[in-house]
Structure 1
């Protein structure tokens, strides 16, 4: 069928088709589809396999179309292993394959599952040249595909959608958008030269990196919130710790190395989430009860967070500035605290019972520790964010 530009035997034709299977980009959608099925609890093999094939055909279509556009339409690539006609025929075959498994999903599971599968192919087919030239669509296309793979994998098992797969889809959309921003920064100079508006081109490399790390922070925060509210298993929060460790190393690296670290970090992140969902290691484990400290409980928490605030201020060399701000704020905080305690807005049970100037001594410390912690975080964050050149 003349798929290959070089050679006309079966081996050359198959090699040309196989050249557009990129495992680094292909494996995450397949794993996400399986993860969505895992969220359903009981996994039926047939829908699992069908949806995984749908994800494969969708991503394969994207790779075929992207290579075709970059070489034959934009003349950006130096070489391509497939003929122009072969690219078009392969896209058609991949589309037919996707349509076949989607119909099978609809017949086996239901209309909802089939409808949630279709957007994966649309994202793949429209990636180039429609979506890959605008900062928003070029950044969110692949992350949105991963989110749809999770949601569709779940629907292929249950025939419906639910809050938990939606929440996981949102988390991966946010975090992978950050990874995509860093990834696109590798081609900043080239993209800028051809007028391709990635986030790095639109915002500049420094601001783009800041946005990426803000998205990592937002995604991690969502995991913690969903874990505390029992949408995710409690152990899911451990995935945030693992990914945060990778982010810290990536922060010190250039775009290429950072991308390598972050991509692998997302695999670790997913592995922790799979373990949390499948094994639920912290189910039944009670929260640590620091109430055993009795009347010294409140003081103990202030001591711990006070040390944290002190460490941040010392690192940022902002101890004196913070002291001036805390002193300026103190009279207002004191009156506010005294009034709310007097009228009964709140009560403190686990305290020493020692009062000073009409309020518990713990509240005096609170009015020092909390502003100091806020200032310490502010100074550390903004001291780290270097001005853009």
Structure 2
């Protein structure tokens, strides 16, 4: 039985009302921001239980507010959804209750930690409450709303412990924002037709599904590369790139998948990404470990790296059936690269100590191979990403 009176639309009494309220707790939607709050505390090293719990509850209340408001707008105002477990009164009651819990925790954080703790927690509720029907009508708001909530949860979880912001937590927040915006863009492609019909201007609607997916994977690629670059710079632990590699593998499988399956894979890949980052920061398994020294190969060191990357290039060309495209590209690039390479070596721009010493046409043998491998690798990647298979 469907009723528009009371709290629940299906059933009556306290039990039905409780089921309606708890139906708005979605673990898949809520876990990443809550995990980000906890990750912020881990980054701060010293974890004080009271601020930790207060911020976690505030983040949960903000997420609950966002989900209830989104359902209320989509079903009761827009008529988008076919059903909803709560009446309009139930939605408004839940919004008031969740908001009251959020502001109670935010004020308590201001008392326990300081006013900045309240200010850095507040954006989570603002983004959640305004997601529908304000932010979700604009490409930036629709795409970056949820990722920005995750980033603010991370910053808040860190600040309530450390009472400051560090370059590490700011870098992690930026990476989460960029990477998860890519995931959200892929998610929006599955609703492209419907969103377009009701006037929602998501990235998928503005760019079209194909270009939106390319844009999404570009964002995710930037995020993963940033993890590697910041680990090399010493900002992140040495083991942090393992998280980027794991997410990259999942993203590679999701690349050719239809939008719904791709979203499922990428969301779960984001869980793995976050979990490995937590492990990298908490345990620091490679701290103090030296980089593998392949110079033990002596004069064959450079040649060995070319064999390795050349093998990858060959696999990509075989997969994409792009041997002829690679051959044409190499034929055009090789003469220019040869002159450039010869000149820079001749005037002493750089030196290659770990080589066999075999020279051909005035430059080392390894440089000839380099001028074959690099264009072939680029063509292999390009054809694999853009081919019809």
* TM-score, normalising length: structure 2: 0.92
CA shift, 1:2, in A, is 4.2
**Aligned pair 1:316/2:340, yes or no?**
no
User: 2:87 aligned with 1:83, yes or no?
Assistant: yes
Partner residue in 2 for 1:218: 222
Query: What pairs with 1:272-287 in structure 2 (closer than 5 Å)?
Result: 272-287=276-291
Residue 367 (structure 1) aligned with residue 371 (structure 2) = yes
2:151–2:177 CA contact under 8 A, matched in 1? yes
The residue number in structure 2 matching 1:146 is: 150
Match of 2:22 in 1: 18
Q: Give the match's secondary structure for 1:132.
A: helix
- Please give the residue correspondences for 1:1-389 in structure 2 after superposition, counting only pairs within 5 Å: 2-5=6-9, 9-383=13-387
**Cα deviation, residue 355, structure 1:** 2.7
8 Å CA contact retained: 2:41, 2:161: yes
Task: Say if 1:313 and 1:92 are closer, same or farther in 2 by CA, change over 3 A.
Answer: same
CA contact (8 A) 1:113 1:160 kept: no
Q: Deviations over 1:163-215 (max 9, x none)?
A: 11111112221221122122223323322322222222222222222222222
| Structure 1 residue 250: Cα displacement | 2.5
Q: 1:365 to 1:249 in 2, by over 3 A?
A: closer
Deviation at 1:44, TM superposition (A): 1.2
CA distance in 1, matches of 2:313, 2:9: 64
Deviates more, 1:157-166 or 1:218-227: 218-227
Cα 1:298/1:131, change in 2 over 3 Å: same
Q: Deviations over 1:63-107 (max 9, x none)?
A: 121122122221223333333233223322222221111111122
Structure 1 pair 328–180 and aligned structure 2 pair: CA distance change class (3 A): closer
Structure 1: 4+ residue segments shifted above 4 A = 5-8
- In structure 2, stretches of 5+ residues that fail to align are none
8 Å contact kept, 1:20–1:64:
yes
Output the CA distance in 1 between the equivalents of 2:292 and 2:264. 37
Moved more, 92-101 or 40-49: 92-101
Q: Take 1:99 and 1:269, find their aligned partners in 2: how far apart are those partners?
A: 31
Partners of 2:226 and 2:47 in 1: CA distance: 26
* Structure 1 residue matching 2:314: 3-state secondary structure: helix
C-alpha distance in structure 2 between counterparts of 1:262 and 1:370, whole Å: 30
| CA distance, structure 2, for counterparts of residue 104 and residue 137 of structure 1 | 29
Q: C-alpha displacement at 1:227, in angstroms? A: 1.8
In structure 2, how many angstroms separate the alpha carbons of the residues matched to 1:375 and 1:50?
A: 52
Residue correspondences, number: 385
Aligned residues of 1:47 and 1:157 also touching (Cα < 8 A)? yes
Determine the C-alpha separation between the residues in 1 that align with 2:271 and 2:155.
18
Change (3 A) 1:379 1:43: same
Between 175-184 and 160-169, the greater mean CA deviation after superposition: 175-184
- Please tell me the root mean square deviation across aligned C-alpha atoms, in Å: 2.1
Give distance in 2, aligned partners of 1:230 and 1:375: 32
User: TM-score scaled by structure 1?
Assistant: 0.92
Q: What's the offset of the Cα at 1:312?
A: 2.4
Counterpart-to-counterpart distance in 1, 2:77 and 2:328: 63
Matched position secondary structure for 1:122:
helix
Which ranges in structure 1 are unaligned for 5 or more consecutive residues?
none
